[in-house]
Amino acid sequence: MKKPGCFITLEGVEGVGKTTNMAFVCDTLTEHLQASGRNLVRTREPGGTPLAEEIRTLLLAPRDEVVADLSELLLMFAARAQHLESQIRPALAAGDWVVCDRFTDATYAYQGGGRGLPIEHIQVLEKLVQGSLQPDLTIYLDLPWDLAAKRIADRERDRLESESHQFFTAVRQAYLDRAKSHPRFVVISAAEALPEVQHNIGRCLQDFLRSRSEL
Ligand code: T5A
């Protein structure tokens, strides 16, 4: 019988090393999945399909017009609806594993914690767009904003990256609060050198595979 698909997300404030560690997570899992003839889909939010990537461009572009918090929230979920429909759900239905750089926890952290939008509004949209679908595992890379900001100091900032210290501190706190109340979260400190961070991510993946009787 075909084994069910699996949905893994990576979260954290900008600069924690999500992009850097996505490759490590995907390589580690691909090695395991190939042995049993299954595929891994690597994707990201906002984005992951041509339409959702266009919405991402709209969302991240610096602009003179002030973007209303509610517009930002709705655009995040518009992109997510497309991503789920044309990419994530079909892959999971086929028994594939999906690894996604950010998902709805980012909405709770950025639009909830950062922007201060009511959690109940996010919950309504989450239910509408996702139904009961939730990640099976969320790896949250944790780093105080001061340190994360240093890692992206020489980069040109997009609209969201240009937010204040206070904004990102609230985003981080919202992630940490969610991690406490959602057992699918594994919090990994991103403050250590990369080999140590990846050693800890590797251990987390081994534990997860064992918990699903995959090892
Ligand atoms: N957003 C997204 C919302 O507001 N709501 C939502 O619902 C969703 C889904 C998307 C933006 O959209 C927002 C959040 C974001 O603002 P993104 O594509 O996820 O943005 O991009 P960022 O988070 O901005 O990703 P970054 O590429 O900036 O950060 P990463 O991926 O966390 O960091 P990375 O891997 O590029 O690493 C940064 C630097 O640090 C080094 C790397 O080599 C690199 O130079 N590094 C380390 N250095 C020392 N020690 C380590 N352990 C290191 N790990 C990495």
Residue in 41, 1, 4, 2 with CA at minimum distance from that of residue 212? 4
Q: What is the pLDDT of residue 215?
A: 75
Instruction: Say yes or no: CB of residue 124 within 6 Å of ligand 1.
Output: no
Tens-of-pLDDT digits for all 215 residues of the chain?
677 899 999 999 999 999 999 999 999 999 889 888 899 999 999 999 999 999 999 999 999 999 999 999 999 999 999 999 999 999 999 999 999 999 999 999 999 999 999 999 999 999 999 999 999 999 999 999 999 999 999 999 999 988 999 999 999 999 999 999 999 999 999 999 999 999 999 999 999 999 998 87
Within 13 Å of residue 137, how many CA atoms lie on the same side as its CB?
A: 22
Express each pLDDT in 42-101 by its tens digit.
999 999 999 999 999 999 999 999 999 999 999 999 999 999 999 999 999 999 999 999
Q: What is the pLDDT of residue 53?
A: 98
How far is it, in rounded angstroms, from Cα 212 to Cα 215? 8
Evaluate the CA torsion angle 31, 33, 35, 38 in order and state its sign: negative
Instruction: Report all structural domains of the chain as residue ranges with CATH numbers, in order of start.
Output: 6-213 (3.40.50.300)
In sequence order, what are the beta bridge partners of 44? 101
CB atoms within 10 A of CB 30: 16
Q: What is the pLDDT of residue 163?
A: 93
Q: What is the pLDDT of residue 36?
A: 81
90-120 b/e (C-beta count within 10 Å ≥ 16 → b):
ebbeebbbbbbbbbbbbbbbbbbbbbebeee
pTM for this entry: 0.97
Residue in 99, 46, 53, 50 with CA at minimum distance from that of residue 77? 46
**What secondary structure letter does DSSP report for 212?**
T
Distance 199 CA to ligand 1 centre (A): 19
Q: What is the pLDDT of residue 4?
A: 81
Distance 37 CA to ligand 1 centre (A): 31
State the pairing for strand pair 40-44/137-142.
Answer: unpaired
Ligand 1 pocket: which of 13, 18, 107, 108 to mutate (most atoms within 8 A of CB): 18
Structure tokens at 116: 């201060």
- Answer yes or no: are the C-beta atoms of 91 and 152 closer than 8 Å: no
How far is it, in rounded angstroms, from Cα 148 to Cα 119? 26
- Cis preceding-peptide flag for 46 (omega within 30 of 0): yes
